[in-house]
Structure 1
Amino acid sequence: MERFDAPSLALLSLLAVAAVVSVSVCVWAGDAEPLQDICVADLNSTVKVNGFVCKAAELETVDDFSSTVISKSGNISSKLGALVTLANVAKFPGLNTFGVSMARIDYAVGGLNPPHIHPRASELLFLEKGSLYVGFVTTENKLFAKTIVQGDLFLFPKGLIHFQLNVGDEAALGIAALTSQNPGTSQVARATFASMPPIESAVLSKAFQIGEGEVKHLMEVIRKT
């Protein structure tokens, strides 16, 4: 059997550790896999975890696994002309631990679901009615956009800025599936110009290369949308 001296053994040990480290940096991220068949969220619990604790098994009913939250059209009379009705775990407790949610998006003619991100989910949009100009922007600032029509699907990758604009001559309706029970939504304009407390205007003025007066105007306008 071949023998190794102390320096050789030390080198082999370092190589072994390096191999383990190189493998361990490859990880998967997403909602945790459930460890039981069902875990209906107890929305009234005072226990705080990364998600929701389960309510008592004897209190679970078949109604926990059905919902009408996206069955009705939303009010699309806002300035943006679009409304997202989200069926996430907070509105549909039976979704807890399953890593999925859905949304209904109603669009008036010309209605816009403005640029936003979902930090915890990818989104697959099914256009049930109408015509939308949709797209997303990668971290390399490359735009992927097109017009979709009734029956089409479009994918928005997790964490990337995306949008939808109704370019048809009638109201539109989209149904979206999301890969998290609580995908979260951050509108780019509101996060930038309507945060509380507000970002210092000097920061936004320099970032967008506009005057501080224009920054204050945008803050006033966007807070009202």
Structure 2
Amino acid sequence: MESFANIFFMFFITFTNIKLCLSDYDNIQDNCPAISPKMQTIFINGLPCKSSANITAQDFRTSELSNPGSTDIFGAAIKIVTAAEFPGLNTLGLAIGRIDIDEDGLVNFHYHPRATEIIFVTKGVLLAGFIDTKNQVFQEFLSVGDVFVFPKGLFHFILNHGFQDATFVSVFNSQNPGLVSITATTFGNTLESLEKVKKKLISLSAYEVHDNAILTMPRLESIFS
């Protein structure tokens, strides 16, 4: 009985001292530029490191964001660069993105399961917002130089609210943030259905938005009904 009590005590101590990690694990060396995934022969949670003899300054520089990505049906071109494309990011718990939005376009409702996202506006006027677990929407108008943050795992959207194309840069606190879009998981990607969602999302901008606005809106699923 005493041995059982000791085992239970050790079990309790072990599991009550587990610390939750809110981002990717810290690296345990100065750097670890990634080997190309095409050269990877075994699966690991991340990417293997190059030999230190083969690391160069080029591993820590990228031009991946010099051009926009492909534009989707909502008028948004989303390009996220991870360690797979930018070797120097490997083990640093970071990814970076560039998003270009056509006039009247939007980045549809989506979330990143493994990362908080911070955006920095470099061109245009945006309406950015996210919905918390109490079904409240937090939204703000943003202009060049403004920064906005989307908490990890919460649905968010960005509307181009100006009269020109808009661009912003995103930074994520994960080297593989992931992206889950409502569009891909709730209904077919037909022009008719996507245009319906776009109109409902744009209607959110009809709210009178004040500084630090907190608004209650219909449940998220009603937007897609």
Q: TM-score range by the shorter chain?
A: 0.7 to 0.9
Where in structure 1 are there 5+ consecutive unaligned residues? 1-8, 194-217
CA distance in 2, matches of 1:154, 1:29: 19
Residue number in structure 2 paired with 1:70? 65
The 5-angstrom pairing of residues 15-26 of structure 1 reads 20=13, 23-24=16-17, 26=19
Q: Which of the numbers 151, 160, 165 marks the counterpart of 1:157? A: 151
CA distance in 2, matches of 1:224, 1:137: 20
Partner SS state of residue 190, structure 1: helix
CA distance in 1, matches of 2:115, 2:170: 11
Amino acid at match of 1:63: Q
1:184 aligns with 2:178: yes
1:28 aligns with 2:7: no
Give the Å deviation of 1:72: 2.1
CA distance in 2, matches of 1:223, 1:148: 28
Structure number, greater radius of gyration: 1
CA contact (8 A) 2:120 2:145 kept: yes
Q: Percent identity?
A: 35
Deviations 1:20-39 (CA, angstroms, capped at 9, x unpaired) = 47843652232121111111
TM-score, scaled relative to structure 1? 0.75
The 5-angstrom pairing of residues 1-150 of structure 1 reads 20=13, 23-24=16-17, 26-43=19-36, 44-76=39-71, 78-150=72-144
Where in structure 2 are there 5+ consecutive unaligned residues? 196-225
Give the Å deviation of 1:224: 8.7
Instruction: Please tell me the root mean square deviation across aligned C-alpha atoms, in Å.
Output: 2.8
CA contact (8 A) 1:40 1:95 kept: yes
Give the Å deviation of 1:221: 4.3
TM-score, scaled relative to structure 2? 0.75
CA distance in 2, matches of 1:224, 1:147: 24
Task: Pick closer, same or farther for the CA change 1:62–1:109 going to 2, 3 Å.
Answer: same
Amino acid at match of 1:95: L
Amino acid at match of 2:48: V
